[in-house]
Amino acid sequence: MEGLIKGLIDVALGGGGRDGENEDRDERSRSSWAQVVSGEQDNDDRTHGHNPPNQWRRQEESQQEHDGWEVSGSRPSSRPHKAEYGGYEKDEGGDHHGYSQSEWSRKEQDNENNDGWETVGRKPQRRPHKVRMDHWQGYKRSPSEQEYSDEVETGTSIEPSEEELADLSQACNRLWQLDLNRLEPGKDYQIDCGEGKKVYQKQDMAEGSLFYSLSEDIFRRPTFSRFCSLLDNYNPNAGCKEVVTSEEKQEQSAFIEEISRTAPIKYLHKYLFLKGIVSENYQDFKRMMTKLWFDLYGRGGTSSSSSAFEHVFVGEIKQQGEQEVTGFHNWIQFYLEEAKGRVDYQGYILPRRRGETPDSETQLLTIQFEWNGVLKSVSSTFIGVSPEFEIALYTLCFFVGGEDNYVQLGPYSVNIKCYRFGDKIGSVFPIAEC
């Protein structure tokens, strides 16, 4: 009788051997995970398909060294089976489909804590920011249907001085001064740099996103919105042949036309003309700019798989060997991808000099992040600058400068690293000289 009573009590209380197994399984499912990461990530931008010089393997930061550190507690990279790059998908007809909001909601619901248990070390969830883009499709229309901004009025001359013509650094600094569309930190946007780290350290040093907020009005600015409309035109898988539609070509021309009405591009044209590099004819200059930035070339062994614009501003993911992110040096692309949950910001790279710690006012950052689960161990990017400024700066350094271009941009001492791919831009990006 006593045994029978005990058995009934066990059943009532949910005891027994099977429940013990369930409890062990529950504990295993609730336990936090960690992964030990060690070694050096050589995550440089390379011109694939050629035999690049050794310095290509030391791009962006010479401090990528392995001191035998092991970092525990970092989160393993999640490699999605199907990545929806740029927030869009293309069907066989070339149409673009917006990122599914319901899918995002389901993912967030799936990540909610289970039965009151919280995943240890999980970063705060990112929620999509609102980006007004209902008018972007209009940029694919014919030239006769396009509406452009009025010619910019700077209030000052945009004629290059003799000093600027003789000194690339002064010319680049003039571009910085002419960037009337550059955003103001704290007013137009807010960032949280998180904690610093060495390049070889793989643990996540950022509790949340890099971008805390960005004014919605920014995407109503013509050069910003036209720039954004281009970002979904590419498949970032390096070695994947691009198919450019007539509508996308119109978008490219419309973007060049829009930025050509701004002070930085007008200054660039005058500078290159006075140097004897381009024609005085502005229409010829705009056609040259379109070809320079958007004409396709081979990268990763496949023809017509890349362009200067795609590599520098959109980013690419190398598929041969271990996956790695190359290019991707634009803050607008970073903001949009982070807002969609595709980018995981993991902290800034510690500067070589003490006392140079970046803060919310900084407009030149060297950072580490994952894009679609693939690591970019070190990447330098401007924050808040306009698309026309970056296009003008990089084009100027390509035509007038060399591989290393040490220039002053406002308060920042910068090396604009420029790699050539024949007569094309292979890669170009800033490195903070601090």
Active site positions, annotated: 311, 329, 376
SS3 231: helix
**Token pair recorded at residue 204:** 């996540």
Rounded to whole angstroms, the Cα distance separating 209 from 9 reads 51
Rounded to whole angstroms, the Cα distance separating 373 from 321 reads 16
Rounded to whole angstroms, the Cα distance separating 199 from 137 reads 40
Rounded to whole angstroms, the Cα distance separating 362 from 412 reads 10
Residue 97's nearest CA partner among 107, 112, 87 is 87
**Token pair recorded at residue 8:** 């009934």
Measured at the CA of 51, the angle between CA 49 and CA 53, to 5 degrees, comes to 135
Rounded to whole angstroms, the Cα distance separating 174 from 213 reads 29
Contacts of 277 (CB under 8 A, 6+ apart): 399, 400
Residue 345's nearest CA partner among 376, 369, 372 is 369
**Token pair recorded at residue 415:** 């090396």
Backbone φ, ψ for residue 74 (5° rounding): -80, 155
